[in-house]
Amino acid sequence: MGIRDIMPNILRYLGRKEWTMIAIAVVLIVIQVWFDLTMPEYMGKITTLVTTGSGTMDDIYYNGGMMLGCAFGSLASMIIVGYIAAKVGASYAQTLRSLQFTKVDAFSMAEINKFSTPSLITRSTNDVTQVQVVLTVGLQMIVKAPILAVWAMFKIYGTAIEWTMSIGVAVIVLILLFLIIFVLVLPKFRKMQVLIDNINRTTRENLTGLSVVRAYNAEGYQRDKFEAANTELADTQLFTWRAMAVLMPGVGMIMNASILAIYWIGAGLIDINPDPYQKAELLANMIVFSSYSMQILMAFMMITMLFIMLPRAQVSAKRINEVLNTEPSVKDGSGAGNGGTGKGEVEFRNVGFRYPDAADNVLQDISFSVRQGETIAFIGSTGSGKTTLVNLIPRLYDATEGSVLVDGIDVREYKLSALYDKIGYVSQKAVLFTGTVASNVAFGGTGERRTEHDVRDAVRIAQGTDFVERMDGAYDSQIARGGANVSGGQKQRLSIARAVCKRPDIYIFDDSFSALDYRTDRALRTALKKETQGATTMIVAQRIGTIMDADRIVVLDEGRIVGIGTHRDLLRTCDVYKEIAMSQLSEKELAI
């Protein structure tokens, strides 16, 4: 069951180099088994020479030397095979992690939300490790065990039936023991990876929201939530390891019992045989048979141990495959819009959108167009669909109804890289990456190298020059993970500078001025309007003051457009807009 599920993954992702190494390992394993099974033959010869007195010390030394050579040969083969297995396993794990990273990188928000961030992290770390361990150990066990078992059986073929029966009973008992443990732990192994996801999620939530947790004195609540998840995982792990703790003592007892049975049967056979030479031969055969029987039992133990390891790896392999086999809902188009010298015009034609598994549309019958160089703003109550609307342009999601066009071409017809090159996007939540101020502002690749002048100019337009140049190192100052060492307003300005540095045809600002004071907000928008002439600007905002100077304003209410026009037009014609405006500014400020 498990092998069939996991092996296709291995076959699918191993490269030519890894297959070559596996072939070498298989040859070395066969050589190792030959050395292991040849040693008992020399042991039998030495026993016969000693008990019968028919040989000289030179004969004994010769056979002993051959045994020693076999032991060293087996050891050398084992070391090389172990090295190859570790290298193949590490290479395979590297490939899996790279494949998952690349696949997730191509996911739209729909796929990321489907798996969840904690689960994707677990799948690319812990799950890959589980499969890597099985491949590394399995490469040594899965090849060696059947060869060793079959070859050893051929070696003992034709010996006393009593000895053969004793080893047969031992193998049956060993298999029964493993089957019982396998049935007990399999469901727990299936559950364990999900519980690791749960631990990851709980820990991540606590660390991400630490300031909120402390502000509400919720440390105890969070601790209890973590302890519940931690205890459930610990209990599951304890059950599996306690069940498997029976394994080694059980195997040891079976092996010792089989040796005892072989010697007890052998003693009886020797006792009833009157011929001294036949007694010596029986003694030698008994020693050789006991060695081969141990090899057979070890082979079966390796096979069953592999099956004990497989359930958890099987679950991990399935989870990895779920990621790798998931087709992104947002894919490259035919390339009809590639290489165009578009002006940044955007048009929505009867667009509707519904989130996956949602009952109702978030957007319905959205139609408008934006000309080159125009600034258009979107406003509405929370949940009216503003962010969802602008997210359809860079295809974070695809419209479920109608069409979104850029420069007259449906965005679904663009190659994604060509579409992204046209857009400078500043998300609702400002995101900075570990690195320097300069590396964050010059982030990404459009085929054009961004110079130091470009970075400084973008920061100037984003009204960030003062605080950046006061930082230790200025543009080479380090930015912590997530921008933890700068304020919210500084993060927003650096995010805006990143978009400006790209010099795109279309700017999308998704509530990107919310952390700025009114003076900085106005100065930034004035600089943007001056420096980005000819580019299309789309602004999502909650503040009337941010958008009142826009060429046109789109008012959304419950996913529908309820007004389009200038600030003055909407104050006269759109009740929703007027209500929002009156709640924020006085009549004098609104110039009513």
Q: Which own/partner pairs from 226-234 qualify as long-range (CB within 8 Å, at least 24 positions apart)?
A: 226/199, 226/202, 229/195, 229/198, 229/199, 229/202, 230/199, 232/195, 232/198, 233/192, 233/195, 233/196, 233/198, 233/199
Structure tokens at 1: 């069951």
pLDDT at 109: 78
What pLDDT is recorded for position 241?
A: 79
Nearest to 508 by CA among 340, 333, 386: 386
Query: Residue 490: which of 520, 511, 526, 455 has the closest Cα?
Result: 520
| pLDDT for the residue 586 | 66
Blockwise average pLDDT, block size 10, the chain, 592 residues: 47 75 86 82 72 72 84 88 87 86 82 80 84 81 79 69 73 80 75 79 80 79 87 86 78 79 75 70 71 77 72 78 82 65 81 83 87 87 85 87 87 84 84 82 66 83 83 81 78 85 86 78 82 84 82 87 86 84 71 56
- Closest to 430 measured CA to CA, from 489, 506, 517: 489
Question: Which distant-in-sequence residues (6+ apart) come within 8 Å of 111 by Cβ?
Answer: 104, 326, 328, 329
Take residue 522 and report the two structure tokens written for it: 């106005």
What distance in Å separates the CA atoms of residue 556 and residue 541, rounded to the nearest whole number? 12
Domains of the chain: 2-324 (1.20.1560.10)
Site of tokens 């819009």: 337
Distance CA 331, CA 201 (A): 29
Rounded distance between C-alpha atoms, residue 257 and residue 253, angstroms? 6
The encoded tokens of residue 64 equal 């002993």
Matching residue, tokens 């125009």: 374
Neighbours of 332 (CB within 10 A): 16
Helix (H, G, I), strand (E, B) or coil at 141: helix
Instruction: Assign 364 to helix, strand or coil.
Output: strand
Other CB atoms within 10 A of residue 188 CB: 19
> How many Å from the N-terminal Cα to the C-terminal Cα in the chain?
75
pLDDT on residue 160: 60
pTM, rounded to two decimals: 0.69
Q: Are 355 and 396 in contact (CB under 8 A)?
A: no
The CA distance from 95 to 238, in Å, is: 32
